Amino acid sequence: MIESLRQDFKQLYGNDNTRVFFAPGRINLIGEHTDYNGGHVFPCAISFGTYAVARKREDDRIRLYSKNFKNLGMVEFTINNLSFIKAHDWANYPKGVLSVFKQNGYNIDSGFDVLFYGNIPNGAGLSSSASIELVTSVMLNELFELNVEMISMVKMSQKAENEFIGVNCGVMDQFAIGMGKEGYAILLDCSTLAYRYSKIDLKDASLVIANTNKRRGLADSKYNERRNECERALSQLQQKLDIKSLGELTEETFEANKHFITDETDRKRAKHAVYENQRTLKAVDALEKGDIELFGKLMDASHISLRDDYEVTGKELDTLVELAWKQKGTIGARMTGAGFGGCTVSIVKNDYIDAFIENVGRQYAQKVGYEASFYVASIGDGAKEIQQ
């Protein structure tokens, strides 16, 4: 695949002195909508991702092309013209990252040509956008020998998404994609960015991703509305409690103080944020003790909370998860990512995976009217240059 991408680059730009970079997508195992609430998340990088074949230029031109958006053709601009242009569509992601690097004073002194190719299903909630941001970051870092640490690239990528693209996401996706490690998930405290790797040993079971194939765009989803609801709840609690985020609360403190949140909806949102954060800590503890069954039960509880209290699931995700729960061999199942469509993640015993895909797939199509897609996930490394 790498070789054929290099060939594509040569055909397009007429040069073969290229370097190749990769950034994965991510799934979150548990800890949903907790990152911007100062809580914990437990994501991992997957083996699907975004490739960038690139070469520096002598002049100040930048040319970007994506094999995934052939109809949009080549996007061209110059290094001192980095404004958001709607017609540039997907290319605003790499442009945004470049713009943040420049704002931070990194010396990017020439243009470059890039060919992108991604095999993450777009809009599936597996973070294709953070993936293209991180592959761009790593590419800039290597091509221009900038010596930036991964954690800074994670933050700059998130900043590009927040300020250039205008999506107010938390840090989870960029962090998982930058810092991922084969075979491990990451327990990340989003309030301090303290983290540790935790080995994912599911014994005789695997992670199965199911895509609802309902398209969702974070930008036009209710994501920002949820953030506002949580902020409102927090500020009412802060009149009584000395806290900086909902992530600081235990279930008990929340229950004792929740009446200070006057709006019932805001109260439900805050409840999810508090309980989900505690659930994440319990789940990682269970997994590290080898108790996969308990981890699975906490995944189920996470979905129920996202469905009933946070209200970010919807018919498609609920159908997939509820069908998954009924299958023999399912240890746990939940939605993953922002919600409102996108993917679910299930832990399924290996002997039952074929039947799982067959049964859930058939019944989903009957109920929803179109097909879901299934992948057995393998946990891969974070963003990096691919050495030849």
Instruction: Return residues touching ligand GLA (CB under 6 A).
Output: 32-33, 35-36, 169-170, 172-173, 337-338
Of the candidates 35, 113, 173, 189, the residue annotated as catalytic is 173
Report the nearest approach of ligand GLA to the CB of residue 242 (Å).
25
Report the nearest approach of ligand GLA to the CB of residue 14 (Å).
37
Q: Is 173 a catalytic residue?
A: yes
- Per the CB < 8 A criterion, the answer to whether 47 and 288 are in contact is no
Query: With respect to ligand GLA, which residue has the nearer C-beta, 5 or 186?
Result: 186
Query: With respect to ligand GLA, which residue has the nearer C-beta, 62 or 167?
Result: 167
Q: Which string of b and e fits 252-288 if b means at least 16 CB within 10 Å?
A: eebeebbeebeeeebbbbbbbbbbbbbbbbebbebbe
Query: With respect to ligand GLA, which residue has the nearer C-beta, 236 or 302?
Result: 302
Query: With respect to ligand GLA, which residue has the nearer C-beta, 143 or 338?
Result: 338
Residue 55, Cβ neighbours under 10 Å: how many? 16
Report the nearest approach of ligand GLA to the CB of residue 336 (Å).
8
Report the nearest approach of ligand GLA to the CB of residue 41 (Å).
7
Report the nearest approach of ligand GLA to the CB of residue 304 (Å).
16
Measure the CA–CA gap between 181 and 176, rounded to whole angstroms: 9
CA 17 to chain centre: 32
Query: With respect to ligand GLA, which residue has the nearer C-beta, 143 or 185?
Result: 185
Measure the CA–CA gap between 40 and 196, rounded to whole angstroms: 11
Q: Annotated active-site positions, please? A: 173
